[in-house]
Structure 1
Amino acid sequence: MIRNFGNKLGLAWWAKVETVTPAATYWYGPFLTKRSLNKNLKKFLNDLSDEGSIDIQHSIIRCKREEPLTV
């Protein structure tokens, strides 16, 4: 897949999402464009909120990411 290739090159866009409760870090991606990430991120954040996550913060990063995607 093109996204996976872009990720291996460090060109993929990711969202690093951190929550206080539960204390967790989630990596959401990879996306080919920042615009595509932003378009899809809202649903992911809403899902976390619906599952009871509290104090959700996120940042957008262009990088290479591997497992684990949840810490």
Structure 2
Amino acid sequence: MNAIATGIKKLFINLPDFGVGDWWVEVTTSSPQCVYYFGPFLNFIEASNLCPAYVEDLVAEGAQNITTAIKRCYPAELTKFYEDN
């Protein structure tokens, strides 16, 4: 990726810092080591209301150490999987 494309990508990734972007539920698990994004939602309340269902599904699949955040962002990927070191 060239420098201009990288700069544009960073700009769009950082737009949420300016209060722009759709609402997403970000769910992080330690086992498997993943970050999941669910959305987009129209507002914080809609995302907040659906968040427990996503956690429940991941618990049923055996995920451990689950944390959640509701944020305005533009996720580049809906699921990020990190290999164990």
How many corresponding residue pairs? Answer: 61
Cα RMSD (Å): 1.1
Rg larger for? 2
Sequence identity (%): 33
TM-score scaled by length of structure 1: 0.78
Q: TM-score, normalised by structure 2?
A: 0.66
Once the two structures are TM-superposed, the CA of residue 56 in structure 1 deviates from its matched residue by 0.1
Give the aligned partner of residue 22 of structure 1. 32
CA distance in 2, matches of 1:52, 1:25: 15
Unaligned runs of 5+ in 1: 1-9
Q: Distance in 1 between matches of 2:74 and 2:57?
A: 24
Higher helix share: 2
Structure 2 counterpart of 1:69: 78
